[in-house]
Amino acid sequence: MKNRNRITQPLIILLAMALCASSIFAQTEPRYRGLPNFHQVNQGLYRGAQPREGGIQKLAALGIKTVLNLRMADERSRAEEQEARAAGLSFFNIQMEGLDRPKDEQVKHALEIIGDPANQPVFVHCKHGADRTGVIIAIYRMTHDGWSTEEALREAKRYGLSMFQFGMKDYIKDYGRDHAGQQRTGRSFDRSIAPGERTATPLVVETYERGKTSFVLHARRDLMSRAGRG
């Protein structure tokens, strides 16, 4: 009898937890159905993954005015634009690579779209709402909310920024360093990478060492040195 009780009690607890979780899911899921990884940054900004069926209509119902898609342009994004405009939403597409650090002009353009009161509230998304979206929101947190690099990175990781997105994480760190310098000197945002990288294409080789093992993480070819050889 005692053994049966020892087995039964944990099962009852697990069942109660499952029922509680399903109750919470039932209360919260319908509101954001079709909007995976959906979160509010502030009153004028939301973030998430690629909207599913009915997601665009849900954004309109929530009062969102603008969709900012960070994925590459294709038939899916064109269909999304048509759906967004049919729902009365503005639509922007900044084509950011999913496995590379963003370009400065892309980040600047995204911040301009997000910061324009006429566009707010803005919904920013990529495929999973984690990497490309995470970078843009992290930069926004530092420029708009005065967050530190560590705070911005911590939030980005909480919403899914991959540990393998070395280029994107480095961009956030580089921007945080340069932004702090800009605040001290009063300069405006015009770059987030070291001066020597301005003439480099995203092909080049950087090395990360852990113990005695060397990992090639990112490739970059310097156009200036190549031009010098020509």
Q: What is the DSSP string of 45-66?
A: EEEES---TTHHHHHHHTT--E
Residue 163: what pLDDT? 92
Q: Who wins on pLDDT, 16 or 74?
A: 74
156/162 Cα distance (integer angstroms): 9
| Residue-wise pLDDT tens digits, 174-218 | 999 988 766 655 655 544 333 333 333 232 222 223 333 333 333
Residue 83: what pLDDT? 98
With a cut of 80, say whether residue 103 has pLDDT above it: yes
- Which of 8-12, 69-73, 139-143, 197-201 bottoms out in mean pLDDT, i.e. has the lowest? 197-201
With a cut of 60, say whether residue 64 has pLDDT above it: yes
pLDDT band at 8 (very low <50, low <70, confident <90, very high): low
pLDDT band at 131 (very low <50, low <70, confident <90, very high): very high
> Global pTM?
0.68
CA 133 to chain centre: 2
157/143 Cα distance (integer angstroms): 18
Q: Which CATH number fits domain 33-193: 3.90.190.10, 3.40.50.970, 3.90.1150.10, 3.40.50.720?
A: 3.90.190.10
Q: In the chain, which residues fall in CATH 3.90.190.10? A: 33-193
The sign of the torsion formed by the CA atoms of 72, 165, 128, 108 equals negative
74: amino acid identity, one letter = D
Residue 1: what pLDDT? 54
The pLDDT > 90 percentage for the chain reads: 62
Q: Who wins on pLDDT, 100 or 22?
A: 100
